[in-house]
Chain A
Amino acid sequence: MPEIDPTEHEISDLGPKVNQVEDADELREMLELEESGEDRTPVKTLIESRIETLEAEDEEPEDAGAVDLSEKTAADVGNLIRDIDEVEELEALLEQEESGENRDSVKRLVQQRIDSVQGSDDDGEEEEILPPEEAHPELDHPTADKKHVRALEDGEYRDMWVYCETQHGELLDVSKEMLGKARELMDGYNEDYDEEEKVVAVVIGDEAESIAEETVAYGADLAVFYEDERLGRFRHKPYAEVYCDMARGAGHPYGREDRPEADWHDYDEPRYAIFPATHNGRDLSALVQAELDSGLASDCSDLYIENEVISNPVKTGAKDKVEFERVLHMPRPDFSGFEYSTILCLDSPRREFHPQGASVIPGKFELPDPDPEREGEVVEHSFDLDESWLDVEVTDHDRLEGGVDLTDHEVVVCVGRGIDRDPTEGIELGVELSETFDDGAFGLTRGVITSSFQFDGHVEQYTGEDRQIGESGQEVEPTLYIAAGVSGAIQHKVGCEESDTIVAINTDEHADIRDWSDYYIHGDLFDVLPAFTEAVESGSVDAALQNFGAVPAGGGDDD
């Protein structure tokens, strides 16, 4: 009969009791009692997990002295030494490695472990930290069986990594904005902490090299790129795999075994990692930060690095207050920008959270001017893609219409609702006139775009919203602006009043447009436009204006 009969206790006070039981058999008896009695799942889980803990403790760790390190990869070593708490034992391993393979990565891992074991000895007072399931048995722990713990122990972290997204072979503006910001942050960082850490640009794609070179001009100290023609379009699996492989230094316990040492990457993982909060950037940032087992502050609107004193016990362990150094502060809008939270990604006493990761809203940071003189290193990353990562194929893609650009033309012809009698013909006449000029464009008032006019198929390409001129459309300033059947509303006027010469064609002598055009032709556009086209073809605009008895109108400011 065990000392404690669980069925006689509330779940909430069982936790501490169960955790004091040191005998697994006694626990098994308790489990049986519970099963035949109340049979409460949380209680059973509690007892079972205590049994597991005890059994794990009992298992003898592999005798380190008997291990042959030369047979093990750095990752294996990393796993092995995690269970070793004796400094002597670790030092023996270190010696073994030095006289054997003498791999830097392995030595660093062992040394780190030594440091951490010694460190934790220093403050022997430290309270035992229970796994959350044991500490709070009254709660349910939906993530209790999470297996994917890949955080490092005493990892070494350096540099700020900037994922530079591209589109159609060009850096996105947000990539440049992040590089500029990263430059500013790391300059300050290196000064404040007397370090020499870098801004590292990451470029992945089918034409990555030339872009990697470009990133230097925007502030990168080093650009690492991975080029593969199959990665012309973003696909999250291969991109995430490549990024994580780049990010993990040689000897990383969860990294690829044959990852070579690299001078520029003499650390385990990036200290900071920033991504654009674009569709692809959000996707990638989530996968990468999850794989590296850290956190992510998404859609940030600002970034800064400061020390921070924290009193939250989850982060400080037993201590009252701890000053965390070099903390990336990541303010982000909540409630779509009505309130802000500042997210911090801090190591916990038992678990490291690095890289400190953020995705950044495009347009939040200044677009830096490139400095072609800047120097930096460009490094190619080599890594074999697994075919299965490419299972998702992009079978088709479409580039959304950029729309019609009406700015930067010599002449713009615009028609308004005056075409209502025969809208299709009205469009045709306007387009024809615009085409008689070497550099003519054709636009519309909003009135036409929002009308119920029915257009024949062949002119439909000329009737879209992308041709709207005015306050809520495009602003144009050609040498010559011809407006036919346009009343001249203020919202239209602001889109064209800077034109050198404005000619209005209207049946209404009192139309507002007369007040702000240079020439006014009183007439029906269905008559005037074709004749005007003819006159321009055979002579000049001036001649055409004279032909039609154009009269100087109100707005004669020839600027």
Chain B
Amino acid sequence: MTEDANDSAAVRTDGGESTMSEHEHYEAIVVGCGPGGAAAAAALAENDVETLVLERGVDAGSKNVSGGLIYAEEAAPYTIDDLFPDFREEATERPAEEYKMHNVSGNKVASFDLEEIHHGGTEWCDAVLRREMDSWLADRVHERTRETGGGLLTDVRVNGLLREGGEIVGVTCDELDPITADVIVAADGVNSELARDAGLMNWDEPEDWFQGVKAVVDMDRETIEERFDLDGPDDGAAHLFSGDLFEGVRGGGFLYTNEDSLSIGTVFHLDSIAEERAEPQDLLDALLTHPLLDQWFQGEYEELEYSAKLVPDSKKVANPSPHSGRLLLVGDAAGQMQAQGPIIKGMNHAVSAGGLAAEAFQDAKTRGDPTLAGDLYEQKLEGEGVMDQLRPTRYEATSWLSESSIATSIGSAVMNSPIGRFGVKTFDGLLEKSFNSPFVLGMIPDTKISYVTVPTVIGDVLGEPVSADNEIEPPDLADRIGDLTYDVGDPHIEVLDNSYEASGTAVTACPVSAEDFGGGCYRSETVESNGSKERVVSLDTQPCVECGTCAVVADTHWEHPAGGKGVEFKQG
């Protein structure tokens, strides 16, 4: 936009360059405009705090992936529609009224209703597509922050923290000169470079993460309403899948209805994907091609977009003290992503945290000491019960037991014994009940028994066979990559050790790479040097969907691409 020359703020009439020797300064900088950043910025703007929002995508949402159910919880300190009143009308797809869990064993399926837990304590819950949702939010955020003297800038990647005398005072960017602020809200999502820079999160352990992979599938609204048996546009369904359709990899699948498309995806423990050398795209295809899904596809399958992203497991990584100096972490950046069994709640917690971070800064200012913001934020997370949802104490109490593999194999043996199986039968109703208990879900350990064995046994013992033939053919990786939009920049990932031992896991775990596929990011190659053959990996970041997986499973130096560069999701 060209400013009018009479707008004195924008015109320098001395004919010279601005002579400011100091950095540009704002009261608040928010990095990232996902739900966490949008909430923080809106709440800051409400308090008249001069707020600058920096987002690396060409548009907010162009980098973001969710399965897609955003919850508004009754007990939450902030919900997205508190902060953005027209949110549901303008930015969401269909509400998730129906909520079912399918336990799969071969072609036998036992379906439970999980509506009790899904609706319990929930004000509303809608499916969303992130490109549309985030860019709608971004427009509101820009309007509101503009009034405070700030605004939202897209295509800007923050690449680190600006420090003076060891203190964090601002951010540095690829595209702009360093900017200082009284408070910096890092809402830059999973693989937060700022959290890493501040030493508040690391990317070392695959156990700390899930990997989500998703396909958005075209389906017109009438067909959706007919095939899912919905009452018009204000009705929608959610289906979850677990059992033996994922080759023993710990995790599950989901299907949510949008207005005129479906979101179908998988979420697996990253350590399990790594250990099993699983190919994420194959796991997704296993779900897509399962006979159970034929009732909805009926032989037609048109994939609009393939995407992937890491998801933090708050039980392990939610930082109870997510701040350092002027820096406050919000949402995925702080590991605030709650997997309540199969129910995934990240966006809502990011919103709560964003609101609380803004509130904390305002309180600190009122007390005349903005540096108190971090401590106040921590107290609020604790006081509002957000931390307890994210890191339930009962999980910490059971995890030592259930994660040990001896316990797992005993459990497995029991479940597979006639008595165990008999138990499943007798407790049929009770099982469904216990799945609906937040208490039980909260302590479900991350083991094969809970993710694979139990659902499989349930499916096998209680399930009805599905007879349909699902003959759809999902696109192969080359086509999936070919359908994505990229603005290729300089490589943003560097392989530090290219030996297969160090980085070979990425060849399978990267959702756009595979063994025997030459068009992916990671490719395994055999090179001859000095007469001896060596297995190595090579990397081409052009097809990268920036999921973050290889930051954890391979020996890399990992950064996000520069502002506006890299993949651009149209659905998300």
Q: Give the B-binding residues of A (Cβ under 8 A).
A: 294-298, 302, 308-310, 312, 314-315, 329, 331, 335-336, 338-346, 353, 356-357, 416-417, 420, 446-447, 450-454, 472, 487, 489-491, 512
B residues less than 8 Å from A297 (CB atoms)? 15, 17
B527 contacts chain A at the CB level, 8 A cutoff: yes
Q: Tell yes or no: B537 within 8 A of A by CB.
A: yes
Cross-chain contact B13 with A314 (CB below 8 angstroms): yes
Query: How distant is the Cα of A447 from the Cα of B542 in the complex, in angstroms?
Result: 11
Q: Which of A297, A298, A452 has the most CB of B within 10 A?
A: A452
- Interface contact A338-B5, CB-CB below 8 Å: no
Could you tell me if A420 and B526 are in contact, using CB atoms closer than 8 angstroms? yes
Q: How many B residues have CB within 8 A of the partner chain?
A: 41
By a CB distance below 8 angstroms, the chain B residues around A339 are: 1, 3, 10, 151
Q: Which residue of the partner chain, among B5, B11, B519, contacts A447 with CB atoms under 8 Å?
A: B519
A454 and B539 in contact, given A356-B15, A490-B478 (Cβ under 8 angstroms): no
Taking CB atoms, residues of chain B closer than 8 Å to A312 are: 8, 13
* Chain B residues within CB distance 8 Å of chain A: 1-6, 8, 10-17, 151, 153-156, 175-176, 478-479, 482, 488, 498, 518-519, 523, 525-529, 536-540, 542
Cα-based distance from A11 to B529 in the complex (angstroms):
77
Q: What 6 pairs between A and B have smallest CB-CB spacing?
A: A295-B15, A345-B15, A450-B540, A452-B538, A295-B16, A490-B482
Q: Are B482 and A446 in contact (CB under 8 A)?
A: no
| A25 vs B15: C-alpha distance when bound (angstroms) | 40
Nearest to B488 among chain A residues (CB) is A472
Q: Can you give 21 A-B contacts (C-beta < 8 A)?
A: A295-B14, A296-B16, A298-B17, A310-B13, A329-B5, A335-B156, A335-B175, A338-B155, A341-B10, A341-B12, A342-B3, A343-B11, A344-B13, A353-B14, A446-B542, A447-B519, A450-B542, A451-B523, A451-B538, A453-B527, A487-B478
Residues from chain B with Cβ under 8 Å of A309 in the complex: 6
A-chain residues with CB within 8 Å of residue B15 when the two chains form the complex: 294-297, 343-346, 353, 356-357
Contacts of A472 in B (CB 8 A): 488, 542
B50 to chain A, nearest CB (A): 15
Q: When A295-B16, A298-B17, A420-B525 are in contact, do A335 and B153 touch as well, CB less than 8 Å?
A: yes
Chain A residues contacting B518 (CB-CB under 8 Å) are 416-417, 447, 487
- Name which of A297, A338, A450 has the most chain B CB atoms within 10 A of its CB: A338
Q: CA A308 – CA B4 in complex, angstroms?
A: 11
CB within 8 A of B525: which of A295, A296, A416, A452?
A: A452
User: Contacts of B526 on A, CB cut-off 8 Å?
Assistant: 420
Q: For A489, what are the chain B residues with a Cβ–Cβ distance below 8 Å?
A: 478, 482, 519
> Would you call A342 and B538 a contact (CB within 8 A)?
no
Given contacts A314-B14, A339-B1, A342-B3, 14 further A-B pairs with CB under 8 A are: A329-B5, A340-B10, A341-B3, A341-B10, A345-B14, A357-B15, A450-B540, A451-B525, A452-B498, A452-B536, A453-B527, A472-B488, A491-B482, A491-B542
Complex CA gap A329/B488 in Å reads: 35
Most chain A Cβ neighbours within 10 Å, of B519, B528, B538: B519
Q: Name B12's contact: one of A310, A338, A343, A451 (CB within 8 Å).
A: A343
Chain B residues lying within 8 Å of A341, measured Cβ to Cβ, are 3, 10-12
Cβ–Cβ < 8 Å partners of A344 in chain B: 5, 11-13, 15
A residues in contact with B8, CB < 8 Å: 312
A92 to B17 Cα, complex, angstroms: 43
Q: In the complex, what residues of A have CB within 8 A of residue B3's CB?
A: 339-342
Chain A, Cβ-Cβ closest to B154: A338
Task: Report yes or no: B156 in contact with A338, Cβ–Cβ below 8 A.
Answer: yes
A285 to chain B, nearest CB (A): 11
With a cutoff of 8 Å between Cβ atoms, the chain B residues found around residue A338 in the complex are 153-156
B448 to A: closest C-beta gap in Å: 35
Cβ of A360 to closest chain B Cβ, rounded Å: 15
> A342: which of B2, B16, B153, B527 is its contact (CB, 8 Å)?
B2
Contacts of A451 in B (CB 8 A): 523, 525, 538
Q: What chain B residues lie within 8 Å of A335 (beta carbons)?
A: 153, 156, 175-176
Residue of A nearest to B52 (CB): A335
B17: which A residues are within 8 A, CB to CB? 296-298
The distance in angstroms between the C-alpha atoms of A331 and B538, with both chains bound, is: 46
Contacts of B154 in A (CB 8 A): 338
Are A450 and B538 CB-contacts (below 8 A) given A339-B1, A342-B5, A345-B15?
yes
B22–chain A nearest beta-carbon distance, Å: 13
A294-B15, A342-B3, A450-B539 in contact; A487/B519 too (CB < 8 A)?
A: yes
For the complex, what is the distance from the CA of A460 to the CA of B268, rounded to whole Å?
Answer: 43
How many angstroms from the CA of A314 to the CA of B537 in the assembled complex?
65
Residues of B within 8 A of A314 (CB): 13-14
A346 to B5, CA, bound (A): 12
* Minimum CB–CB distance for A484 against chain B, Å: 14
B2 with A512: CB separation less than 8 A? no
In the assembled complex, the CB of B282 is this many whole angstroms from the nearest CB of chain A, namely 18
Note all chain A residues with C-beta closer than 8 A to B527: 452-454
Q: How far is the CB of B481 from chain A (nearest CB, A)?
A: 8
Q: How far is the CB of B514 from chain A (nearest CB, A)?
A: 13
What is the chain B residue whose CB lies nearest that of A315?
A: B13
Chain B residue contacts of A342, Cβ below 8 A: 2-5, 10-11
A472 CA to B528 CA in the complex, in Å?
29
Residues of chain B within 8 A of A420, CB atoms compared: 525-526
Q: Which residues of B contact A446 (CB under 8 A)?
A: 540, 542
Residues of A within 8 A of B498 (CB): 452
Q: Across the interface, name the chain A residue whose C-beta is closest to B153.
A: A338
| In the complex, residue of chain B having the shortest beta-carbon distance to the beta carbon of A358 | B15
Contacts of B5 in A (CB 8 A): 308, 329, 342, 344
CA distance A446 to B540 in the complex (A): 9
CB pair A340 B1 closer than 8 Å: yes
Please give, as numbers and ranges, the residues of chain A lying within 8 Å of B4 by CB-CB distance. 342
- A421's nearest neighbour on chain B, judged by CB, is B526
B518 to chain A, nearest CB (A): 5
Least CB distance from B56 to A in Å reads: 13
Residues on B with beta carbons closer than 8 Å to the beta carbon of A345: 13-15
A524: min CB distance to chain B, Å: 16
Q: How far is the CA of A336 from the CA of B176 in the complex (A)?
A: 6
